Structure 1
């Protein structure tokens, strides 16, 4: 297929005696029709996979943020609790963390120590909370001064 046709000889001060290529009659080659659509279809899976990885990274970060915040709230609730510190910890965690996340309160301090120590673990969801979880857990730890007067003087 002849994409370029040679035109007449151009005579003038800038290029005497040279031939100028002339575009084909339609102005564009015929063999590239639909090329943009094919390239888009080819790169679409790569774009979607990249978006899913970015979403998952944001979800992991958000889960760690939830774990830390839940541990802070649980430590505060246990520090001022007049009843069982364990019950106060678990109640504060379940009020703070959305129900789609699986939570575990591993440690909630003792009544007769100066500090209340809390450790909360939350399962990291895969793409959407409530469906499947990754085999990793976000851990949040917090301490608060025990304000229940549990010291034995």
Structure 2
């Protein structure tokens, strides 16, 4: 009996099987964080592109959709006046793509990005 108790054959496999789910969970968590970072960068870029197009009177919604290709986004435009003159602000709401992490579920979140640009005025002759 003592011979079987001191036998350590297969102990590495048991340790690996105990740790493997935690490694998988850590990798899925890291992937989800990368998706959030990607969404932040793309939403801010789409807001800037939309504001740039809106400042010259173009279709800001199409610019936002092209810039945020692959993400679910909605955008809105507001105009205001500052001490520098008129400006346009584009707000982009982007839904973060998520993966289903076992025991935790899905990460449901929406990010908001704003960008403002001075409004280009047409010069009169």
Q: Give the TM-score taking structure 1 as reference length.
A: 0.65
* Number of the residue aligned with 2:38: 62
* Number of the residue aligned with 1:127: 99
* Number of the residue aligned with 2:13: 37
Distance, in Å, in 2 between the alignment partners of 1:70 and 1:60 is: 15
Change (3 A) 1:92 1:127: same
Per-residue CA deviation, residues 3-37 of structure 1 (Å, 9 max, x unaligned), is xxxxxxxxxxxxxxxxxxxxxxxxxx961101111
Q: CA deviation at 1:109?
A: 2.8
Query: Aligned pair count?
Result: 113
More helix, by proportion: 2
Are 2:88 and 1:116 equivalent residues in the alignment? yes
Q: CA deviation at 1:134?
A: 3.8
Distance, in Å, in 1 between the alignment partners of 2:107 and 2:120 is: 38
Per-residue CA deviation, residues 23-62 of structure 1 (Å, 9 max, x unaligned), is xxxxxx9611011111111111000001111111111111
Q: CA deviation at 1:111?
A: 8.9
Distance, in Å, in 1 between the alignment partners of 2:114 and 2:35 is: 19
Deviant stretches of 4+, over 3 Å: 110-113
* Number of the residue aligned with 2:64: 93
Are 2:115 and 1:142 equivalent residues in the alignment? yes
Is the contact between residue 51 and residue 116 of structure 2 (CA under 8 Å) also seen in structure 1? yes
Is the contact between residue 117 and residue 141 of structure 1 (CA under 8 Å) also seen in structure 2? yes
Structure 1 residues 66-81: aligned runs within 5 Å: 66-81=42-57
How well do the aligned residues superpose, as a CA RMSD in angstroms?
2.5
Any gaps of 5 or more consecutive residues in structure 2? 101-105
Distance, in Å, in 2 between the alignment partners of 1:91 and 1:146 is: 18
Q: CA deviation at 1:127?
A: 2.5
Larger Rg: 1
* Number of the residue aligned with 2:72: 102
Q: Give the TM-score taking structure 2 as reference length.
A: 0.79
Is the contact between residue 99 and residue 107 of structure 2 (CA under 8 Å) also seen in structure 1? no
